[in-house]
Structure 1
Amino acid sequence: MKIDIDYTPENKAVIHSYMRNVAQGNTAGAAADAAADAAKLYDAGSATVQVNSVVKAESEAGIDLKAGEVKVSTENQTTTNVSTYYKVPNDGKLEQL
């Protein structure tokens, strides 16, 4: 997920709060504040959500000879975009593109 947020007077407080938590490396006690800030950033910003399908195929063959071992393997991976959603700033509704 990618979130874009404009630095506006309305968003200034939540951006500063989030950046302060990140910069201070807050521990578990501040995690709830950071999660709340992230939710506020999501609400205030635009967001793009991509749903991908990953298919992985592996093949392995080997031969064991008295002189040594030979092993051959292949791996293929395909990533396909299943769908993409977009959210406009200050609106919680995701729209499929």
Structure 2
Amino acid sequence: PFGLTLGDGLVGALVLGGGSLAVSIAFERLAQRPSMGGGDIKLLAVVGLFLGWERGLWCLFAACLVVLVMQMASRLREGGKGIASQTFPFAPAILVGVVIASIL
């Protein structure tokens, strides 16, 4: 799809999957708490495989914005306590990001 070659897809999988894995490991070592689940990392690798690294990065950016909006809405609704202290599934936001990146 999108005129990508196999090499473009593999680079996208490496950039998104490998990059998110590296950031997750670094965060977990520094913060001493879990960050991103393995399913989210695998999903990002598959997204990179199909969208390539450029659209994949747009997807990741859009997913982060979606999560930010959801966090702010939750905090406003819950009176400032929101879901920031709980684990939050990132996969739905990634899938919204896929739709946005596919349209761009």
Relative to the length of structure 1, the TM-score reads: 0.25
**Greater helix share, structure number:** 2
Larger Rg over CA atoms: 1
Q: Name whichever structure is richer in strand by fraction.
A: 1
